[in-house]
Amino acid sequence: MTVTIALFTRDLRVHDNPVLTAAHREGTAVVPLFVVDEAIAAGRFAAPNRARFLAAALAELDGELRAMGGKLIVRRGNVVAEVDRVAAEVHAGSVHIAADVSGYSRGRERALRERLARRDCLLHTHAASITAADPEVLVPSTGRDHFAVFTPYFRRWAEAHQRKPFGKPRELTVPPVASDPLPEAEDICAGPTSPQLAVGGETTGRKLLRDWLSGPIVGYEDDNDNLAADATSRLSPYLHFGCVSPVEVVHRVDMSTPGGHAFARQLAWRDFHHQLLAARPSAAWSDYRPRSIAWRDDPQAVAAWQDGRTGYPVVDAAMRQLRAEGWMPGRARLITASFLTKSLRVDWRIGAEHFLRWLVDADLANNQLNWQWVAGTGTDTRPNRVLNPLRQAKRYDPDGEYVRRWLPELAHLPGAAVHTPWRETLDAAEYPAPIIECVGM
């Protein structure tokens, strides 16, 4: 009997999973393995919201595998040691894993390859598992190792050949091997979570995708920045954990329509950031394009921003949505990030850390590089761009519906008046005055 291991990381699905497909094709028996990585659980990237989403996603993955006659094998500890231990127990000839781009992922891959080689067990990595395009394939014709500007990257991305989605295995044979119980969220990372957090998992994510493609995507080009409309797909957490396949999503989107093209463009932004981080791993915490910016040390302003008490309603509404849902729309992320970095002049890393704490979809590629884009240290070709919260509110929440949804203390203010509560007779105990005067577009 030939035994292979399908090591799940950020690809928690059975549909269009290159790792599971390859392991199933190669082996007469497959160990679907997930290791609760104690290095991540104990590190700065740990977050209760993502732990809760992850626990639900693992439970759904186990259910999908059991429907094929298999089950998810769970271990906890050092990933390299646990995979090596399982490989020894089942006499595995190979391990399959999704290629990833962070420095940690690259180091994990190298360590796995070296450890498994000692027992003549091969490690196979699979690109286009976590992203729609292989981050290392789409490179400029200039000879550089990555695209530094999005528009030419998107042209190449849209023209590139992409593989067709794989089906799921009809059945699996899993050899006898010990497993820990499926983890609860608290077993992964304890702490308070967002009360309105989305439920993780492939079944949930695929239903969300079906619903999105069945109609709402048609209006995406016109409505995606409309804060009150809630007109985005909300698929980002499911893409982050691989509950839905980015390749399958792109394959199913009709890019010939305005809505489909605009949505595909956002998927390409995700791939763009992954290819950039693959080439420049240090950009996770260091300026991609260093600039002489005098960041301010202002703990009180940071606390006001984090708590949604800046006195600018559109900023505060977005920050409260972040706490409540572990998510917020892209336009809200731009507004809040610009306010912190361009208006308050606070280091982007402080904001990125806060988003890592609460965003269920946060990964190093997209979170950090989006923050750098806004802060002017990343790939934005207009690094001095400032988003004025009042002008942004007038443009993207003209009737104030979004603000009233998240700031109940201002719900009595009519229409656009909700964006300038300092002009009304409000007590400071009800809602604070603006902590700074803002300029910008």
Q: Report pLDDT digits (tens) over 48-103.
A: 999 999 999 999 999 999 999 999 999 999 999 999 999 999 999 999 999 999 99
Q: Give pLDDT, residue 440.
A: 62
Please state the three-class secondary structure of the chain as a single string: CCEEEEEECCCCCCCCCHHHHHHHHHCCEEEEEEEEEHHHHCCCCCCHHHHHHHHHHHHHHHHHHHHCCCCCEEEEECHHHHHHHHHHHHCCCEEEEECCCCHHHHHHHHHHHHHHHCCCCEEEEECCCCCCCCCCCCCCCCCCCCCCCHHHHHHHHHHCCCCCCCCCCCCCCCCCCCCCCCCCHHHHCCCCCCCCCCCCCHHHHHHHHHHHHCCHHHHHHHHCCCCCCCCCCCCHHHHHCCCCCHHHHHHHCCCCCHHHHHHHHHHHHHHHHHHHHHHCHHHHCCCCCCCCCCCCCCHHHHHHHHHCCCCCHHHHHHHHHHHHHCCCCHHHHHHHHHHHHHHCCCCHHHHHHHHHHHCCCCCHHHHHHHHHHHHCCCCCCCCCCCCCHHHHHHHHCCCCHHHHHHCHHHCCCCHHHHHCHHHCCCCCCCCCCCCCCCCCC
Q: Domain 299-423's class? A: mainly alpha
Look at residue 241 and tell me whether its pLDDT is greater than 70.
Answer: yes
Q: Which of 30-44, 288-302, 381-395 has the lowest mean pLDDT?
A: 30-44
pLDDT band at 205 (very low <50, low <70, confident <90, very high): very high
Give me the pLDDT at residue 170, please: 95
Q: Is 37 annotated as a binding residue?
A: no
Is 363 one of the annotated binding-site residues?
yes
Annotated ligand binding at 362? The verdict is yes
Q: What is the pLDDT of residues 208-238, one digit of tens each?
A: 999 999 999 999 999 999 999 999 999 999 9
Percent of the chain exceeding pLDDT 90 equals 93
| Confidence at residue 37, expressed as pLDDT on a 0 to 100 scale | 93
Q: Determine whether the annotation assigns residue 180 to a binding site.
A: no
For 313-354, what is each residue's pLDDT tens digit?
A: 999 999 999 999 999 999 999 999 999 999 999 999 999 999
- Average pLDDT over every residue of 261-276: 98
Domain residue extents for the chain: 3-130, 131-162+202-279, 299-423
For 405-414, the pLDDT digits (tens) are 999 999 999 9
Residue 397 annotated as binding site: no
The reply, when asked if residue 105 is annotated as ligand binding, is no
pLDDT at residue 438 tops 90: no
Q: Can you name the CATH fold of 3-130?
A: Rossmann fold (3.40.50)
pLDDT at 289 over 60: yes
Above 80 in pLDDT, residue 42? no
Mean pLDDT calculated for residue range 348-367: 97
233 is in an annotated binding site: yes
How high is the pLDDT of residue 41? 78
Residue 178 pLDDT grade (very low, low, confident, very high; cuts 50, 70, 90): very high
In whole numbers, what is the pLDDT of the chain averaged over residues?
Answer: 96
Find out if CATH 1.25.40.80 is the number for domain 131-162+202-279.
Answer: yes
> What pTM was estimated for this model as a whole?
0.97
Residue 62 is assigned to a ligand binding site: no
Confidence at residue 441, expressed as pLDDT on a 0 to 100 scale: 55
